[in-house]
Amino acid sequence: MNMALDSSVLVLNRLWQAVNICTARRAFSLIYSGQAQVVDASGGDYQTFNFDEWKDFTGVEDGHDYVHTLNFRVKVPKIIVLMVFDKLPRKEIKLTRQNIFLRDKFECQYCGKKFERNDLNIDHVVPRSRGGKTTWDNVVCSCVRCNTKKGNRSPEQARMPLMRIPKAPRPRAFLNVSMSRVPHDSWKTFVDVAYWNVEVSD
């Protein structure tokens, strides 16, 4: 058993966005078949390597693990970038209270002020009583005061224009896993820790 082959490798898509984490074993198979290249920053800036280049690359000794074969040893990559379009399904973002708050940045869409989660309501722009649906383009977060003031009216009727036109957030191709810490410094460029630590449960 080679533990190094079980270590985690960050997978970037062709736009260099973090989309996945795989095992080094899987990463090697992607690199070997030409579907991915290694990304290495040990030289100061980011370089990419195909399998043969990587095999010959010594770079800086920086605590990489190695996999030894009969003929050579090869560093276990920490990041790979896909050469092909990944077929990861883009995740539609669920219409949950929390996701609405996140989209609207916890700002009341009528007065523009920021609030704690508990002081925010979900407001139907076109009220439900007037046929308004619970859809991304018809719900916004609103403070209790604005929500009450608006009542059963549309923004036009209430003369309370919206800060932003609500719409569905773009489906995320990005990685959506929670991790308490980023395992390698080299990942940090690609991983928005703040975002990853956002609680998405609703």
Q: Provide the binding-site residues for Zn ion, judged by CB under 5 A.
A: 108, 110-111, 143, 146
CB of 113 to Zn ion, least distance (A): 6
CB of 160 to Zn ion, least distance (A): 9
Q: How many helices, marked H, and strands, marked E, lie in the chain?
A: 6, 9
User: Please, is 199 exposed, middle or buried when counting C-beta atoms within 10 Å of its C-beta (0-12, 13-18, 19+)?
Assistant: exposed
* CB-nearer residue toward Zn ion: 40 or 107: 107
Q: Which two tokens stand for residue 110?
A: 């009528």
* CB-nearer residue toward Zn ion: 10 or 146: 146
* CB-nearer residue toward Zn ion: 82 or 146: 146
* Residue of 175, 172, 173, 170 lying closest to 193 (CA atoms): 175
Is 19:27 a contact under the CB 8 Å cutoff? Answer: no
* CB-nearer residue toward Zn ion: 163 or 200: 163
Q: Report d(CA 36, CA 185) in Å as an integer.
A: 21
* CB-nearer residue toward Zn ion: 110 or 174: 110
CB of 200 to Zn ion, least distance (A): 24
Q: Report d(CA 111, CA 142) in Å as an integer.
A: 8
Is 66:74 a contact under the CB 8 Å cutoff? Answer: yes
